[in-house]
Homo-oligomer: A and B are copies of this chain.
């Protein structure tokens, strides 16, 4: 067990998820069980809060309210997209040291793992003993070394539900429906739309992923083909689809390309969906073509949360505390699958996760590059949790014509 006596600091970084507060609360409640922990602090707006010395004393929050917060989507402490410089890191230790913080837990994606690594290295250089644990979360499911990441299952449940509804809508009124799903480099979330399929002719009939080059003529031909077969077509498109040169189709339309501190291009907005709509209309002659961009609501939608995801998000927080307090280790907590369906956790070096991106494995994408395989369905289905209601159809026979 760690002999380091002092305080705990928890922070969140990057885009929120529906279950990220489960991890925060998992850390906070588990850390309270260790006598060497005096106080549990939460940094307001992640790295920015550490730089500004803006902490909440979670030790003075009720367990009841923490449990209510755990069930609330998005980062309750506030988040940030800021990437700390070396200078920032030096300043951060001053703050950590002055508050006798000895255990730092940072919940986030690969950018946050990278920030965690920088803090950890700077602490070592300054001879300041500090346990650092990165706690994984991302709706994109793009962290290496993880079977999947907390936040993904709930977002996947939203996407599957949205496509189940869109498919029913499209079946009632026909035409072509395009849903644009989040996912910059990894197509896992767009791929999860496939979980909406129940009957053989259900949509999504086509799925386009950033793991494959997007060819607009090929796309239009695919849509025409499906529309001729079923009289309708439902399509899932990842916002990160790109041409052969790797240029995102979405940014081709933007007047001003907006980037965050990590150099990530801003892909949101309805332009990609509208472009694909116009393309289908022009190239196929189909008249009723509609596109929705799911946007921000897919990552924090209350009431569409995977219970499996919730439980795992809680456990990665608890395990993070175990690695630091029981085992005196630094690193990034990761989920591994141990059965169908069961998981366990391990700790991996920051370098495995930091600034790395996992993309969809080849076995998950069909040969034509316009849908997923059964292996993906088997992989993703347990992650969206229990109580997922599937649609039913009328099976009544047709009435004979009177004439």
Cross-chain contact A402 with B98 (CB below 8 angstroms): yes
A253's nearest neighbour on chain B, judged by CB, is B274
A345: Cβ under 8 A from any B Cβ: no
Cross-chain contact B54 with A398 (CB below 8 angstroms): yes
Cross-chain contact A392 with B69 (CB below 8 angstroms): yes
Could you tell me the distance between the alpha carbons of A273 and B292 in the complex, rounded to whole angstroms? 12
> Chain A 385-403 against B: per-residue CB contact (8 Å), 1 yes, 0 no?
0001101111111110111
A78: Cβ under 8 A from any B Cβ: yes
Given contacts A277-B269, A290-B268, A295-B292, contact A173 B81 (CB under 8 A): yes
> Chain A 272-302 against B: per-residue CB contact (8 Å), 1 yes, 0 no?
0110010000000001001111111101111
Cross-chain contact A392 with B269 (CB below 8 angstroms): no
Cross-chain contact B269 with A15 (CB below 8 angstroms): no
A368: Cβ under 8 A from any B Cβ: no
Given contacts A79-B172, A277-B269, A393-B76, contact A166 B403 (CB under 8 A): no
* Residue in A54, A61, A168 whose Cβ sees the most chain B Cβ within 10 Å: A168
Could you tell me the distance between the alpha carbons of A171 and B395 in the complex, rounded to whole angstroms? 47
Given contacts A98-B403, A173-B79, contact A165 B61 (CB under 8 A): no
Within 8 A of B (CB), among A27-41: 39, 41
Question: Which residues on B sit within 8 Å (CB–CB) of A391?
Answer: 72-73, 302
Cross-chain contact B15 with A173 (CB below 8 angstroms): yes
Given contacts A53-B402, A171-B78, A397-B57, contact A291 B304 (CB under 8 A): no
A77: Cβ under 8 A from any B Cβ: yes
Could you tell me the distance between the alpha carbons of A177 and B300 in the complex, rounded to whole angstroms? 14
A95: Cβ under 8 A from any B Cβ: yes
> Chain A 3-37 against B: per-residue CB contact (8 Å), 1 yes, 0 no?
00000000010011010000000000000000000
Cross-chain contact A172 with B16 (CB below 8 angstroms): yes
Could you tell me the distance between the alpha carbons of A398 and B277 in the complex, rounded to whole angstroms? 50
Question: Which residues on B sit within 8 Å (CB–CB) of A55?
Answer: 398-399
A243 smallest CB distance to B (angstroms): 21
A141: Cβ under 8 A from any B Cβ: no
A9 smallest CB distance to B (angstroms): 10
Question: Which residues on B sit within 8 Å (CB–CB) of A292?
Answer: 268, 293-297
Cross-chain contact A392 with B71 (CB below 8 angstroms): yes
Identical chains in the assembly: 2
Could you tell me the distance between the alpha carbons of A94 and B206 in the complex, rounded to whole angstroms? 41
Given contacts A57-B396, A57-B399, contact A388 B303 (CB under 8 A): yes
A75: Cβ under 8 A from any B Cβ: yes
A398 smallest CB distance to B (angstroms): 6
Question: Which residues on B sit within 8 Å (CB–CB) of A169?
Answer: 15-16, 73-74, 296, 299-300
Cross-chain contact A166 with B297 (CB below 8 angstroms): yes
Contact of A53 among B61, B69, B401 (CB under 8 A): B401
A329: Cβ under 8 A from any B Cβ: no
Question: Which residues on B sit within 8 Å (CB–CB) of A173?
Answer: 15-16, 78-81
Contact of A301 among B61, B95, B161, B402 (CB under 8 A): B161
25 sample A-B contacts, Cβ–Cβ < 8 Å, listed by A number: A16-B168, A16-B169, A42-B394, A56-B398, A65-B392, A65-B394, A68-B392, A69-B393, A69-B394, A72-B393, A74-B165, A74-B168, A76-B394, A79-B172, A80-B173, A99-B402, A161-B303, A162-B297, A164-B302, A165-B296, A165-B297, A165-B301, A258-B287, A268-B292, A269-B290
Q: Which residues of A are at the interface with B, using a C-beta cutoff of 8 A? A: 12, 15-16, 18, 39, 41-42, 45, 53-61, 65-66, 68-69, 71-81, 95, 98-99, 161-162, 164-166, 168-169, 171-173, 177, 179, 258, 268-271, 273-274, 277, 287, 290-297, 299-304, 388-389, 391-399, 401-403
